[in-house]
Structure 1
Amino acid sequence: MISRNLRHLRVFLAVAEEASITGAAARFKVSQPAVTQMLGKLETQAGGALFDRTSRGLVLTERGAVLAARLGRVFAQLDAALAAISTRLPEVATSGQLQALFAVHDTGSFTRAARALGLAQPTVHRAVSQLEQEVGAQLFERTSHGLSPSRACSALVPRARLALSEIDQADMELGELDGTETGRIVIGTLPLSRSVLLPRALAAFRQARPKMLISVVDGAHDMLLAALRQGDVDIMLGALRSQSPAPDVVQEPLFQDRFAVVARPGHELVGEGPLCAEQLGRYPWIVPGPGTQLRYQFEALFQRQGLPLPDSIIEAGFILLIREYLDLSESLAFTSGRQAAPELDRGNLVQLPLAETLPFRDIGLTLREDWLPTRAQRLMLDCLRGAAEALPDV
C-alpha cells in the first residue's frame, strides 16, 4: 500500500520530472541519499521498480508511470484546494495534519477525533493548530454543540478527501499490474437499484473478479451524493434527477421505471377499473419519505386534481415491509413498478389501474465528472450497463 507521506510522493514526482535524483534533491533541499532512501521505501510499497536507469537518466517503468499519473491527479486537486485558503499550505501541509482535520470536521471534537484516529488528543489538537497557524485563521469555532468548521474548512475537507482518494486508486492499479485484486469498489445505492439491477451486475462482476472487495452502501440521495463527491463512494446507482444535482457530477440513464399503485390481493378496489385520485384519497397509504421522486409524484397525483393529501400516511420504501403491511390492512402503496414486479408476479400484490397515466423516471449512474476509474471499476460499470440492457421493457 502506497504511503500517504505527501513529501515522499512529491519527491517521487520530482525525480520523474527531473529524470534525476540530483535534480529532485536540489529542488527539495535534501541530500541525494535521502531521496534514494525515499524512493526505496516507495518502491517496496509499490511492489517493484519505479525507474529504469538509462543514458537519458531515470525513466519511469510501467509501474512508475501508473503511480505518477495518479499522483499527478492527487496534487493537482489537493494543491488547488489548499491554495484556495493559503498559498503556503501546498508546501507544508502533511497527510497527518489533513487526517486530523478530517476527523475533527466529522466528529466536532478533538477528543472524539483522537479516539477515531487512535491518537492522543494533544497530537490531533497540535496538527490542526499547525494548519491554522499557516492559514492565519481559525478553522473551527467553539459552539455549544462542539467545534463548528469555518467556511474555508468546510470547502477544503471534501476537496482534499477527494484528492487523497486517488492514492487508493493508485493502490488498485498497482495491484492489477501484479494480477492481484487490491482495494475495494464502493457502490452507493438508492432503493430500486439494489433490488432490481445490482444483484445481476454483482453476479456478472464476480465471475470475472472473484476476490475484489465490494462494499454496497445504502442511503438517501443527498448523503450518497456528498460521499461520491468527496471520493468515499465510487459509483452512485439509483433514480436520477431531472437536472444534474451538482456541477462536478454527471448522470447516465440506464433504464426507465414507472410509478405504480399497489394493494393486497382481495382489496376492495381490485377489479374496480381505472381509479381517480378522489377514490384513492379515501384510503390510508404507505409511501416513500420526503425528498424522493416517488413522494413527489404521489403528492402530484392529488395536487393535479386540487385534492388534499390523504390524512393517513406511513413513510417507508422497503418492498418487503410494504407487502407485509398491505396484507394486514386496506392501505394502498405508491411504489416503483419494477421494484414491485417480483411481488406482482408471485401474486403477493396487485397493481391498481389508474385513470391517468403515471410518468416514467430514469434510473442510472451518477459519477464524478473527472473520475478516472481503474480497470476493475470500469468492469463494474460495464456489468451495471449490461444488467440494465437485459431488463425487460416496462
Structure 2
Amino acid sequence: MLNARIKLRHLQAFLEVARQRSFARAAERLSITQPGMSKAIRELEDILGTSLFERTARGVALTQAGLTLLRHAGPAMRALEEGVGALGEEERSARWLRVGALSTVESRLLPEALRRWHAKGSDDGQGRFAEVGVNVVTGSSAFLLSRLRRGDLDVVVGRMTEAREIQDLAFEHLYYERLLLVVRAGHPLAGVSPLVAEDLSVYPWVVPPPQTTLRQQLDSFCVRQAMTLPSRLLETLSLSISRGYTQGSDAIWVAPEEAVVEAIGRGELCELDLAIEQQGGSVGLCRNASLQSCLALEAFCETLREVAAD
C-alpha cells in the first residue's frame, strides 16, 4: 500500500530531477524555488528511508534506489496523466509514435524504416498510420533510455547494450555495427598501411562525448593501443557537425559505420587502416515491457526488423 505521506508533488519533483540531472533546472521547469525542490526530495528520501540521488561533477545521478523508484514511478505517473486527460474526451483516432534515436541509426536504418512504415500504413487500403505522427528524439543512450523507462518514449533504436541504464528494459538485437576511424580524402594518413597509434596523435579528433557507449569503446581501444587522445578534441554526437568538420580539416573522426559508408563509397571519406573493434557493437531496439503497446508501434518494430535484415 502506498505510504499516505507520499504526495504527488514529491513524485513530480523526483521525476523532474531525474530527467534534468540538476536540482536547479528541475526547480526552474516546475516553477518552484531550488530550496523548495531540495526540500521535496529530502522529504521523499526521509519517507522512503533511503537516498535517491548522489552528487557528481556533472550534477546529480540516481542511486540504485533512485533507479528502482524511477522504473515504477515514471510509467505510473504517465498512466495517471493519461487517465486524467482521457476524462470527458472521446477516443482520438490520431496519436504520436515517440522514437529515441542514437547516432548509430540516424543515417540509414531509421530514415528507411520510417519511410517504409508510413508507406505500409498508406498503401494497405485502410490508412492505418496516415494520422499517426512521429516524434524522433536524439541524444545519448543514458538520456534516451531514462526517458524510455519513464514512459516518455515508445522505443529507442541504436547501439546501447553497454549502457548501464538499459538494465531490465527489453533489448532486441538487429545487427552488429563497427566504429571506424575515418578522415577526409587526401588526408596525410589516407591509404597509409600499416598504421600505429602514435601516427594519430598529431591530428585533432572528433569523438563521442564522455559517458556514452561509443566513447566507452574508444576508451577501450586507447587502452589496448597504449595511447592517449590528443588535447585537440571535438566531442559531439551530431553527425552533420562531425562530417563537416572532418571534411574541412585533418581531423580523425571516430564514426559509426552506417554514418560514413556511403561517403567512403563515393571517395569523400577514407577509412584508416587501424581497427577500433572487429565485430562491432549490437544495434537493436529497446522497449519498456511495462508500457502498453499499440498496433502502430508493433508495425514500426517489425519494419525495423525488415530494414535491418536487408
- 1:153 to 1:291, Cα distance in 2 relative to 1, 3 A: closer
Matched, 1:281 2:201: yes
Report the aligned-residue RMSD.
Answer: 4.2
Matched, 1:202 2:122: no
Q: Confirm or deny: 8 A CA contact 2:208 2:214 kept in the other structure.
A: yes
Farther off after superposition, 380-389 or 370-379:
370-379
Matched, 1:343 2:253: no
Matched, 1:186 2:98: yes
1:354-373 aligned within 5 A: 354=274, 358-373=278-293
Secondary structure of 1:304's match?
Answer: helix
Partner AA of 1:106 in structure 2 = E
Q: Confirm or deny: 8 A CA contact 2:179 2:277 kept in the other structure.
A: no
Distance in 1 between residues matched to 2:92 and 2:248, nearest whole Å: 53
Matched, 1:237 2:150: no
- 1:210 to 1:354, Cα distance in 2 relative to 1, 3 A: same
Q: Confirm or deny: 8 A CA contact 1:190 1:219 kept in the other structure.
A: yes
Partner AA of 1:353 in structure 2 = D
Q: Confirm or deny: 8 A CA contact 1:237 1:365 kept in the other structure.
A: yes
Distance in 2 between residues matched to 1:308 and 1:325, nearest whole Å: 21
Q: Confirm or deny: 8 A CA contact 2:208 2:236 kept in the other structure.
A: yes
Secondary structure of 1:195's match?
Answer: coil
Q: 1:32 matched to which residue of 2?
A: none
Give aligned pairs, total.
281
Distance in 2 between residues matched to 1:154 and 1:281, nearest whole Å: 39
Q: 1:159 matched to which residue of 2?
A: 72
Q: 1:215 matched to which residue of 2?
A: 135
- 1:99 to 1:211, Cα distance in 2 relative to 1, 3 A: farther
Distance in 2 between residues matched to 1:295 and 1:247, nearest whole Å: 19
Partner AA of 1:163 in structure 2 = A
Q: 2:305 matched to which residue of 1?
A: 385
Partner AA of 2:285 in structure 1 = L
Distance in 2 between residues matched to 1:293 and 1:246, nearest whole Å: 11
1:317, distance to aligned residue in structure 2 (A): 3.0
Q: 1:106 matched to which residue of 2?
A: 16
| TM-score (norm. length: structure 1) | 0.59
Q: Confirm or deny: 8 A CA contact 1:229 1:248 kept in the other structure.
A: no
* More helix as a share of residues: 1
1:246, distance to aligned residue in structure 2 (A): 4.4
Structure 2 gaps, min length 5 = 18-22, 53-59, 85-89, 122-128
- 1:236 to 1:317, Cα distance in 2 relative to 1, 3 A: same
Distance in 2 between residues matched to 1:187 and 1:287, nearest whole Å: 24
Matched, 1:268 2:181: no
1:105, distance to aligned residue in structure 2 (A): 5.5
Secondary structure of 2:107's match?
Answer: helix
Q: Confirm or deny: 8 A CA contact 2:163 2:212 kept in the other structure.
A: no
Partner AA of 1:285 in structure 2 = W
1:113, distance to aligned residue in structure 2 (A): 6.6
Partner AA of 1:389 in structure 2 = A
Distance in 1 between residues matched to 2:66 and 2:282, nearest whole Å: 35
Secondary structure of 2:98's match?
Answer: strand
Distance in 2 between residues matched to 1:338 and 1:136, nearest whole Å: 46
Distance in 2 between residues matched to 1:153 and 1:243, nearest whole Å: 17
1:347, distance to aligned residue in structure 2 (A): 2.5
C-alpha distance after superposition, 1:107-147 (max 9, x if no partner): 7599857659xxxx9xx99xx8xx98xx699x99xxxxxxx
Partner AA of 1:274 in structure 2 = P
| TM-score (norm. length: structure 2) | 0.73
C-alpha distance after superposition, 1:29-68 (max 9, x if no partner): xxxxxxxxxxxxxxxxxxxxxxxxxxxxxxxxxxxxxxxx
Identical counterparts, % of pairs: 26
Higher RCO (C-alpha under 8 Å, 6+ residues apart): 2
Distance in 2 between residues matched to 1:299 and 1:281, nearest whole Å: 14
1:252, distance to aligned residue in structure 2 (A): 1.0
Secondary structure of 2:220's match?
Answer: helix
The structure number with the bigger radius of gyration is: 1
- 1:369 to 1:274, Cα distance in 2 relative to 1, 3 A: farther
- 1:187 to 1:265, Cα distance in 2 relative to 1, 3 A: same
Structure 1 gaps, min length 5 = 1-78, 141-147, 172-176
**Structure 2 residue corresponding to 1:290, chosen from 192, 199, 210:** 210
1:263, distance to aligned residue in structure 2 (A): 0.8
Secondary structure of 2:209's match?
Answer: coil
- 1:250 to 1:210, Cα distance in 2 relative to 1, 3 A: same
Secondary structure of 1:286's match?
Answer: strand
